[in-house]
Amino acid sequence: MTTNADLMTRLKAVECRDSTYKPKSTPLVFARAKGSVVWDVEGKSYIDLCAGFGALPLGHASEALLAVTREFENAEPMVEHAMGDVYPSEEKILFLETLRSLMPDSYKLGALALSGGQAVEIALKTAMLATKNSGFIVFENAYHGLDFGVLPLTAREDFRVPFKNYLAEDNIVRLPYGASKAIVSQGISKLKSTGLAAIIAEPIQGRAGVNSPPAGWLSMLSDIAHEHSGLLILDEVFTGFGRIGTLSSAGEANADISCFGKAIGGGFPISACFAKKHIMNAWPESSGEAIHTGTFFGHPFSAAVGRRTLLAIKDRDLAQRSKSLGETIKFRLREALKDSPLVKDIRGEGLFIGIEYTSPGFAAVLMDRLRERGVIALPSGATGSVLSITPALNIPEDVLFEAIGHVIEISK
Ligand SMILES: Cc1ncc(COP(=O)(O)O)c(C=O)c1O
């Protein structure tokens, strides 16, 4: 039988050593998965509290995916790759229409890409075209992706410093997440030579360790951006479409541009930048060649799975389920762990929950212990002190409670 350890050795021989985590004990190679259960190559099962970094709102092998794969058994199957910026696929159009129908009314036009980082890159370019400015306010601990266009916005130095000489960082001012209006104003005044293109913020910081801002903070950012002729970009790549109990935070925040990724593809790569009409119309009309595109942008297969996923989230009100189940889980965790000397805080909204431990790196240790017990969860936060719980939005309650039971046992 092939073992996890054998395959990890083979991976090490063929892959860049930075690309994959190599646990010191009990390695895990995913082989099969259904719903919120994953099986490794040795046949051991795991409860998935990560859901593909939040990209599997309906879990693995969802009915959305099965419906699309069945399409390929037809005599005239759906197209698997159209010619994105030249000849669109029907599925791309349907996907954009569906996404728009689920956004607040004012977000009229979208542009598609493949990853969250690419959606944010489109947002940055859109803000520059719309404002003719090039300065950005970003926040400490923010994560917006690692491609060169968005890397300057991402806070962690270990991601940025090795590539510093290539990065345009002079037009960026980084402020504390949750900074007061006065501090944000001061920050904007430092962008004298570039002007303010946009302030960019996550509704809840995910990779930073599930940090929520003060109530009303996002709409304050919108007001202040507008006072300085700039825009508010919301990065909803992690939080969007149910994760934090709402479909989008853009309306409440009065954002000008909003970015989505992860959940909207139901496990397949597709992302979107949506904006108010006059802002998106800062892009020129395509004269045959788009000035921002990619071979796989708006990929029909991803769009097809994504649209069915979005409709399932809406029809089954999975955002509301996420909200109420999240409350139940936080309550259970708080009750069970209120006397634990290891636990500093339990927080989050919906099925976006963080348990902060008192010692740095401890959540990374727990990740390994959970794996041994058959549960998959990830550490977050700059020092790995937060355990993130981001399961599929349709995870069965008994499965979730079983996994949370393990989390409680090892957190006491
Ligand atoms: C808020 C946020 N923005 C952007 C990204 C980047 O997305 P991707 O990894 O798909 O490029 C992430 C990824 O975790 C994210 O959490």
* Opening angle at CA 211, ends 209 and 215, nearest 5: 170
Of 225, 213, 129, nearest to 173 by C-alpha is 225
Q: Which atom belonging to ligand 1 lies closest to the Cα atom of 262?
A: 10
Q: Which tens digits make up the pLDDT trace of 5-47?
A: 999 999 999 999 999 998 888 899 999 999 999 999 999 999 9
Half-sphere exposure of 350 (CA within 13 A, CB side): 31
Residue 197 has pLDDT above 90, yes or no: yes
**CB within 8 Å of 27: residues ≥ 6 apart:** 4, 5, 7, 8
- CATH architecture designation of domain 90-315: 3-Layer(aba) Sandwich (3.40)
Ligand 1 pocket by C-beta < 6 Å: which residues?
53, 115-117, 120, 143-145, 202, 206-207, 235, 237-238, 261
Six-digit token string for 2:
């092939």
Predicted confidence (pLDDT) per residue in 163-188, tens digit? 999 988 889 999 999 999 999 999 99
The ranges of the chain annotated as CATH 3.40.640.10 are 90-315
Answer yes or no: is pLDDT of 288 > 90: no
For residue 376, the model assigns a pLDDT of 98
Ligand 1 nearest atom to the CA of residue 261, by list position: 10
Q: Write out the E strands in 246-335.
A: 257-260, 271-276
> What class has domain 4-61+317-410?
alpha beta
Query: How far, in Å, CA of 145 to CA of 121, rounded?
Result: 9
Which regions of the chain carry the CATH code 3.90.1150.10? 4-61+317-410
Instruction: Among 143, 212, 386, say which to mutate for ligand 1: greatest number of ligand atoms within 8 Å of CB.
Output: 143
Sign (positive/negative) of CA torsion 119, 364, 29, 390?
negative
Per-residue burial over 52-87, b if 16 or more Cβ lie within 10 Å, else e, is bbbbbbbbbebebbeebeeeeeeeeebbeebebbee
SS3 80: coil
323 pLDDT band, cuts 50/70/90, is very high
Pairing mode, strands 271-276 and 107-113: antiparallel
Nearest atom in ligand 1 to the alpha carbon of residue 205 is 1
Pocket test for ligand 1, best of 238, 264, 270 (most atoms within 8 A of CB): 238
Cα of 74 vs centre of ligand 1, distance in Å, is 35
Say how far apart CA 387 and CA 377 lie, in whole Å. 7
Q: What is the DSSP string of 255-272?
A: -SEEEE-GGGGTTS--EE
**Which residues, other chains included, contact 152 with Cβ-Cβ below 8 Å and sequence gap of 6+?**
138, 160, 167, 168, 169, 172
Per-residue pLDDT reduced to its tens digit, 51-102: 999 999 999 999 999 999 999 999 999 999 998 889 999 999 999 999 999 9
Q: What percentage of the chain has pLDDT greater than the value 70? A: 100
| 88-136: pLDDT as tens digits | 999 999 999 999 999 999 999 999 999 999 999 999 999 999 999 999 9
- Cα gap 206→263, rounded to integer Å: 14
